Structure 1
């Protein structure tokens, strides 16, 4: 009898694995930058090729709100924002580049893209006025705001001017405007610094969640970054923090882009971690996937498909929601 039970369990496990392997995921990329930190891009036609190759039906597309300076004293142009000590500066023309790229597309292609407006200084109380002007210049184009850079480790250190905070006055005006136009806001706000092993900056995120209940916030990478991982590997307080915030704030959504994949969603053997599966199942409409690619798209398909082992651990309906539908349903056109 015991052996029969073992065989039955084994057959059930094999059936579950086979069912997961048979899933045909279609994706929405909820976090994609058409340009890099020099405001350059492989182009929207290359992006479409990469999306088609990776079963990516839809993509949030934004610029980069800062540009990297090639300093007079540097003989070689840096290849990335962290390539040297030259600063980055706020760059509003990034949105003009996005708008121009969208104009290149025919009507069917255009439906696949969901532009977010990001080219403003989040320390400037004129930012909301600028955003309103951009919305009026291109009516119907913009479907969200962000990625807004606030706490962002090395980018913060290199940015000219004051450090932006998610709870400053300038951004409060932006959040009010987002609610007025029914636009989701993608916010990058690191949960902590490179060395503090506690949620040091949590209050900066939680205050706007509490004070702007009619604004939908997408928390980029759930407050993590690769630089944090280099110094701390895994934030042991991340899961309980995200759990509480989701329970307390129905206007919060989580972008599971690449810095969340390891060590949080998958273990060292690329197996899905049960505690994160459980959290997503509890909040099946609140998580979405993103590649966070910047300007080049060769790795796009591989980056999105890297989430498949985690998706396979979810119930099939929830897996498809996370892979594709949740991002689309947060957009104003779906509401």
Structure 2
């Protein structure tokens, strides 16, 4: 505990201001949009009837018109520049929160604000894309501004992971906007209360839809991030659960990585929050992750954003530091800021205790280098495979057979 207190004091800058100012970051998990498919944008010029971040007096975001969606990115890029963030994975939000009639008295903004259901948001990726398209059009004559887009890495997330045709929608988005997309995710599997509020079929990691998506991701070298809880939620901190959902995730990795004989077709996987969410209580979880990384360290990265940092890492710092030192190339940090780029700096500051506890080489890997290597490696592989430089472009003759990824189902 004393060690944690000392590190915490250092993290808030009482004797570590130089480190804090110089530290570079990579954000592996940022949502440009929230659960209402809205989000902050740059209104510092006062062009619209809202504050500098896009909020109106009623607490809702102003709806940007055609040609003005670039403002979502100018504000984000300013945050990145002023806080030494070299790369950001940017995605929309795969769900939209419904405002149900029986909750008419409270218009929700977050998925936990009410018991109203959440529904798939198939157009979320279109909103992300138009922000990039508007930006390129707005600054087409400004090479320096256009160059800044290189540090943003848009991922496709609006996929129904219980739909065997979800991979076809991903291909459709890529064809609609060639050269834009650099990955897939955050794809949703088991997610505690969010799963409970979802309408229709509930996802799981080894669902054939996700197997198809992951196989496609490996084939075209798109990194893929997934939220899959390792266990059901507990009623309190003393109710320890077994990792009952872990085998579903391991099935997915086994089918798409270990059983894929061609290493160039194995997907690069980012496990969001390292499998942890609210009210998930697992004993000695670092040991579980150690066993997983022992088998999948070449393809699996652990995203330490959100509750896993406070609920697991900082409660057992020494063991987590040992785990990170054992697998220094497999850990990423992210903000998981939802629709608010202004929240990214605060979320990244939460990692200072952890980063201070690591040696300089490992610290730089976890803070930003691992993410950069992951993204650069994927881009280089796509180019070698003929899928274009930068974001992915699919040739017109690219197609997937209907049985793609369904071999196990066909054999039953």
TM-score band, normalised by the shorter chain?
0.7 to 0.9
Who is 1:40 aligned against? 38
Matched, 1:221 2:273: yes
Return 214-223 or 96-105, whichever deviates more. Answer: 96-105
1:74: Cα distance to partner?
Answer: 2.5
Deviations 1:99-148 (A, max 9, x none): 11122334122111000101110000010111111112212211111101
Flag the 1:22–1:100 CA change in 2: closer, same or farther, 3 A: same
Matched, 1:92 2:136: no
Which of 54, 64, 69 is 2:93 aligned to? 64
Return 20-29 or 89-98, whichever deviates more. Answer: 20-29
Distance in 1, Cα, partners of 2:111 & 2:177: 30
Deviations 1:269-288 (A, max 9, x none): xxx81211111111111111
CA contact (8 A) 2:233 2:278 kept: no
Matched, 1:324 2:372: no
Consecutive unaligned residues in structure 1, runs of 5 or more = 1-13
Distance in 1, Cα, partners of 2:242 & 2:102: 39
Return 255-264 or 308-317, whichever deviates more. Answer: 255-264
SS in structure 1 opposite 2:184? strand
Deviations 1:227-249 (A, max 9, x none): 43xxx4xx214211111000011
Flag the 1:73–1:134 CA change in 2: closer, same or farther, 3 A: same
Matched, 1:101 2:135: no
Distance in 2, Cα, partners of 1:241 & 1:201: 12
Distance in 2, Cα, partners of 1:262 & 1:84: 25
Matched, 1:161 2:159: no
1:194: Cα distance to partner?
Answer: 0.9
SS in structure 2 opposite 1:298? helix
Who is 2:399 aligned against? none
Distance in 2, Cα, partners of 1:319 & 1:147: 25
1:334: Cα distance to partner?
Answer: 4.9
Matched, 1:248 2:278: no
Distance in 2, Cα, partners of 1:94 & 1:86: 19
Distance in 1, Cα, partners of 2:80 & 2:197: 32
Consecutive unaligned residues in structure 2, runs of 5 or more = 1-9, 42-71, 136-144, 235-239, 258-265, 382-412
Distance in 1, Cα, partners of 2:216 & 2:79: 34
Who is 1:4 aligned against? none
SS in structure 1 opposite 2:369? helix
TM-score by length of 2: 0.72
SS in structure 1 opposite 2:286? helix
Who is 1:125 aligned against? 164
Who is 1:200 aligned against? 244
Deviations 1:158-185 (A, max 9, x none): 0111110110111111111101110111
User: Number of matched residues?
Assistant: 311
CA contact (8 A) 1:53 1:301 kept: no
SS in structure 2 opposite 1:285? coil
What is the RMSD of the two structures over their aligned residues, measured on CA atoms?
2.0
